[in-house]
Amino acid sequence: MKHFSIIAFHIYALRMEDNPWSEMSWGIDQEVPLRGSPFKNRCSHKGTSLISFHMLNLVERRSMMGDLILKSGDKIVFIGDSITDCGRRKEFPPLGNGYVFIAHNLTTVQYPERDILWVNKGISGDTVEGLVRRWDEDVINEKPNWVSIYIGINDVARNKNSNRDLEDLLRNFEEPYRQILNRTKREIKAGIIMFDVFYVASEDVAKRGFDVSRYNKIIHSLAKEYGAILVETDAAFQDAVKKRPNSQWTTNDGVHPSPLGHTLIALNFLKSIGW
């Protein structure tokens, strides 16, 4: 890997259209080329490795930051869809090449004395009902101290054109979500971190018009009820797009993060746990 200066990192991250990315498999949609590039992009790419490496330059004095909730000896399991998966089962084992990988690297550098085990159980295309089916194998049997859940955008996408009543669809989202939260609290007593879901309409070339607000309302309510740490990605992306409208935060679909988007998710996750 080439060692770029921090200036080169900023150019690299903010001018992603000049860079070819490797291909990955996605959950809900087709291959989408990055804006202005002949190369197809899906999730994880070599650029993310560079971003995570050079984000280490942002690590300064620990006294300026909070105390990380992850302690030495802790295990944290990340479970979700393609945004979490990011090639962890293919090109980029074991953590993928997205926000989990970036957060792991930054945490390791900031807290090198803490021996923390990071486990990625994301599966592209998954839904909350899919998590229910694999909760035993991928969470309960892992016996983690912390469980990070990032799920919902595939539920939003698949339900958009459904003929079923929206209230019924929302109940079918909340009930299985509540089921995995109950099992986590009851069977392994792990701490829980929950992500809401984002959608950047201005970057969706397919103009699908997803509405994540009702799903996020459920996620926020469940996080409060179960005492979970909430990572508000939707607000973070909307704020980022407003402040940097010419940057590309997703891969032209409004759903899957670009390298810049994964970095945004990683930093908001770390802020939420005291990094």
Q: List active site positions.
A: 82, 253, 256
Residue 265 vs residues 101, 139, 145, 255, 257: alpha-carbon distances, Å: 11, 22, 21, 13, 9
Residue 112 main-chain phi, psi, to 5 deg: -65, -20
C-alpha radius of gyration, the chain, whole number: 18
Decide: 183 and 135 in contact? Cβ < 8 Å. yes
* Token pair 């995995």: residue: 180
Reply yes or no: is the peptide bond before residue 259 cis, omega within 30 of 0. no
Residue 96 main-chain phi, psi, to 5 deg: 80, -170
Residue 19 vs residues 29, 45, 139: alpha-carbon distances, Å: 22, 10, 36
Q: Give the CA-trace dihedral at 30, 35, 36, 42, to 10 degrees.
A: -40
